[in-house]
Each structure stands twice: as C-alpha cells, then as structure tokens.
Amino acid sequence: MEIIELVRLNLFSPMVLAFVLGVVATLVRSDLKFPDEIYTALSIYLLLAIGLKGGAELSETALTEFWAPALMTLILGVTTPIVAYVVLRRLGGLEVADAAALAAHYGSVSAVTFAAVQTFLQALEIPYEGFMATLVAILEVPAIIVALIIARVALGQGGNWGEVLRELLAGKSILLLLGGMFIGLIAGKAGLEQVAPVFVDPFKGILTLFLLEMGMVAARRFRDLRRVGFFLIAFGILMPIVNGTFGIWLGSLAGLSQGGAVVLGTLAASASYIAAPAAVRIALPQANPSYYLTAALAITFPFNLAIGIPLYYGLAGFFY
C-alpha cells in the first residue's frame, strides 16, 4: 500500500504531469513545439547544474566515503550491459548489433531520470549522498564501451575505437557532467552559492519544462511500439526493475544511505538516450534505431518517471 501511495503522489507531481501534458499535446496533434535551440539549452542547463551540485558536494566528501559507491557503480556499468545482451540474444532472438545497441542503452544512464529521482526524494524529505552526480558520470561510459566490445567481438570487427571514444567523451552529456563537476569541485559550496540563483533555485522549474518536451518526444515514438513487438515492451519494463533491484543491493553493500541506494538503483534502471545513441550511431550503424530509441524513450523513460522511481524506493525497504 505504501508503494501505491508513493506512485499516486509521484503521478501528481508537476514534473510527471508536465510529461503527461507533452504526451497529450502530441496525441491531439497540437501545434505546441519547443524550438530545437530551446530544447538544447534546457538539456545543457540540466546537465551543467547536476554536475555543479555534484562537484560541490564531492569537494566536502572524504575518499573513504566515496570509493565503495564508486566501485559498485563501476561493477554496475560492466555487468548490466552483459546481462541485457544475453537476455536479448537468448530470449529475444535479436541480431548481434541490435542486442548490443540495446545493451549499451540499458547499461548506461539517463541524467534526466537522475534529476527526477532527486526531486522525488527531496519532496519526501529523504536524504541522500551529495556525490551521486559523480556516479552518473562513472556509469555513463563503461556500459557503452562494454556493449560495443561485445558486438565487435561477436561480429569479428575491428573498427575506429578512437572515434567512438572521442564521440563519447566529447559528447555534451559527458563533457557537461564532468566539466560541471570539475568546476563545482574547485569552487566548492561557497562558489556554488554564487550561482545558486541560476543553477539551484530554478532547477525544478527547468526540469518541468524539459519533461514537457520529453513527453512530446516520447509520444512521437509510440507509433513504433507495434514495430518493436511485445518482447521489447516487456524488456523495457522488466529489465529496469531487475537492474534497479541490483543497483539498490549494491548501494546497500557500499554503505550508501537508503536514499542514496534508491538513487543508485534508479540510475541502474534508467536507459540512456543522449550519449548511447550518439556512440551506437557511429560504432553500430547497422543497428535498428527503432528498437533502441523506442525502448528507451517510449517505454522505459515513462515507466521510470511514473511508476519505477516509487517502486525502487519501496524495494529499498527490503535491504534497509
């Protein structure tokens, strides 16, 4: 009953309702549309703000508190794409390229889902470690690399790994997260206070606008659901639950607070739709975008936003 109540409260939050409004706007064929420049600006703001706050918190975190969660996050980044690939190949019967592309997306992380779980826990006044944004950066890259290595070995290909790594590390998600964390780490909390009126106070409002746009983006992918089939729909819901539970368990082993474990579980349950598509487009051009984009955007992202986050909070109770 607690989980049901949390789901109800989450569904009526401004962020989730904004996402629903975006879906409705697309389904009724409204002329509502964000210019590409504004969409890009919102994503840049969110990524930089997450990095800044994470770096400021990390500046006051002892290495003894951080190393175990960082190690567990790295374990997540290596194991989740391998498990996803095996499931997709053995149970789903997908081709190597498609299975590896999906594994890269589901092993990596969604920064917007991270922002959403932060907002959820803040609304419930549940504390969590301030360095969690650093774990976003740790989880983003390894899973993509592992999935691409699996594909190259299975296909017997070499490939331009330098270009793939350059695309990953120079892409805006990694660059802004790491850059923001570096700035926050050097400037500290005193420095963050100087830019708080821009990067802290308006954060939830900007996130609400971004989720309005994401609702429209996700709704445009709904028509592809018939094409991806029942298996991928089930995979897009069940795999996040498995990954989320695994992430919560590893978080408890690492000594994270219950709120921190919920965040790590949510990170493990999310699917990338910024860094992973960019890398897959270069490394696996033969993979079908309808599979990985539809699964990540039209299935997993809405599920996590509406139901998954409260569910992971409820599941954390079994480990704490």
pLDDT at 159: 57
Query: Of 222, 198, 141, nearest to 174 (Cα)?
Result: 141
CATH class, range 2-215+230-316:
mainly alpha
Across 6-15, 94-103, 210-219, 246-255, least confident range: 6-15
Q: Spell 182-202 as b/e; 16+ CB within 10 A means b.
A: ebbbebeeebbeeebeebeee
pLDDT digits (tens, 9 = 90+) for 178-236: 888 899 999 998 999 999 999 989 999 999 999 999 889 888 888 877 777 899 999 99
Higher pLDDT, 131 or 72: 72
Q: What residue ranges do the domains of the chain occupy?
A: 2-215+230-316
pLDDT at 51: 87
Rounded Cα–Cα distance for residues 149 and 140 (Å): 15
Two tokens, residue 68: 């175990």
pLDDT digits (tens, 9 = 90+) for 263-272: 999 999 999 8
Grade residue 274 by pLDDT with cuts at 50, 70 and 90: confident
Distances (CA, A) of 92 to 1, 98, 106, 232: 34, 11, 15, 8
Two tokens, residue 223: 């028509």
Rounded Cα–Cα distance for residues 103 and 118 (Å): 25
pLDDT at 158: 59
Higher pLDDT, 157 or 20: 20
pLDDT at 27 over 70: yes
